[in-house]
Chain A
């Protein structure tokens, strides 16, 4: 494992914190974890990417897939405080225009 995954909170709004390298090797546990949150009733998921050093195309595909499913359920996958490398990668792939991206910090609501 080179990606730490931690889930915070329960109910409608939850957060998942990733730290490390989010690549094809780590896609399954992240996808499974995010889908489980949706299955358990979460609708707004904040995905904290502040400590993610790198995300590859498989990781981006996981985020896109979960975002689309969350929106179909009336919710969203919100990207929280992506690190600079992740932010640049989102811009280069134009995915910054597809996701809701929020700054970190207390008092920042996850809902759109």
Chain B
């Protein structure tokens, strides 16, 4: 990735910049950035981050711009996963009023970072989104609508559902994803086309039921969440999304495939040992016999 160096560029004066006061959207962003909400957020956005000093600011900018344009109270949670670069410092130095940085001394894996972030979230609806903005935030409403309407408890972005648009993904990764998808279907009976897309939204109730019992800290935590959700009677809807391959992805085909397969066994074992039992109670409107 490129470093941005402006040290030798003469900076024009503010007057010379010819800045405008900006649109209403820009003003909303500036208010959000400088003023505490004063009310509980309706929406929480959790970004897990491990050594994301190069990518985190543009992603925060895109998410903040879009969420502020919606006009609902929202908070941002950066769940740093033991970064060894300046990710935490860079975000902290922004001084954003409605942003929380969660820190941990050691790198636990994406699942751990998402869990810590979601458990700190206060919103009625909780989105987790990858730090690379691979799934553009403009699609947030597609996930929120079915959950807000009560049609679903969880909405998951899908790169494999009908209507999805995947841009830049290599043929090798496509084949790998397809293979793992078949394994998931056969091994877990889940009908989802894509369990791994880093763009998922949970109702408050669903998050409160799933994350306390979720155990896998690594790459396969999404699958575990969907498995527990399935066992718990939570309704999951898959939403086709536009997705861009992002240079610098931390996903490594061979290594992560081995881990994924290993985690499949762990999930089955955890289930057999009753470790997900706490989440398996009926949803509102259901009875034990449903």
Q: Enumerate chain A interface residues (CB-CB to B < 8 A).
A: 2, 21, 23-25, 53-58, 60-62, 64, 67-68, 71, 84-89, 91-93, 95-103, 112
Residues of A within 8 A of B62 (CB): 53-54, 85, 88-89
Q: 21 pairs across A/B with beta carbons < 8 Å?
A: A24-B1, A24-B247, A53-B62, A56-B246, A57-B1, A57-B4, A58-B2, A61-B3, A68-B8, A71-B9, A84-B29, A85-B62, A85-B65, A88-B26, A88-B62, A88-B64, A89-B62, A92-B57, A96-B19, A98-B6, A100-B16
In whole angstroms, what is the CA distance A76 to B109 when docked?
44
Shortest beta-carbon distance, B141 to chain A, in Å?
15
Assess the A95–B4 pair: CB atoms within 8 A: yes
Assess the B54–A103 pair: CB atoms within 8 A: no
Shortest beta-carbon distance, A87 to chain B, in Å?
6
Assess the B3–A54 pair: CB atoms within 8 A: no
Shortest beta-carbon distance, A80 to chain B, in Å?
10
Query: Provided the pairs A84-B26, A87-B26 are in contact, do residues A92 and B61 lie with their beta carbons within 8 angstroms?
Result: yes
Answer whether residue B60 sits at the interface, using C-beta atoms and an 8 A cutoff. yes
Q: Enumerate chain B interface residues (CB-CB to A < 8 A).
A: 1-6, 8-12, 16-20, 22-23, 25-26, 29, 54-55, 57-58, 60-62, 64-66, 69, 94, 133, 136, 138, 167-168, 244-248
In whole angstroms, what is the CA distance A21 to B5 when docked?
22
Would you call the interface of chain A mostly helix, strand, loop, or mixed? helix
In whole angstroms, what is the CA distance A95 to B83 when docked?
24
Shortest beta-carbon distance, B39 to chain A, in Å?
22
Assess the B6–A95 pair: CB atoms within 8 A: yes
Q: A57-B1, A68-B8 are in contact. List 12 more A-B contacts (CB 8 A).
A: A24-B247, A54-B58, A56-B246, A57-B2, A57-B4, A58-B2, A71-B9, A84-B23, A88-B61, A89-B61, A93-B57, A93-B58
Assess the A56–B133 pair: CB atoms within 8 A: yes
Shortest beta-carbon distance, B197 to chain A, in Å?
17
Query: Provided the pairs A58-B2, A64-B6, A89-B61 are in contact, do residues A100 and B247 lie with their beta carbons within 8 angstroms?
Result: no
Query: Provided the pairs A53-B138, A103-B20, A112-B12 are in contact, do residues A88 and B65 lie with their beta carbons within 8 angstroms?
Result: yes
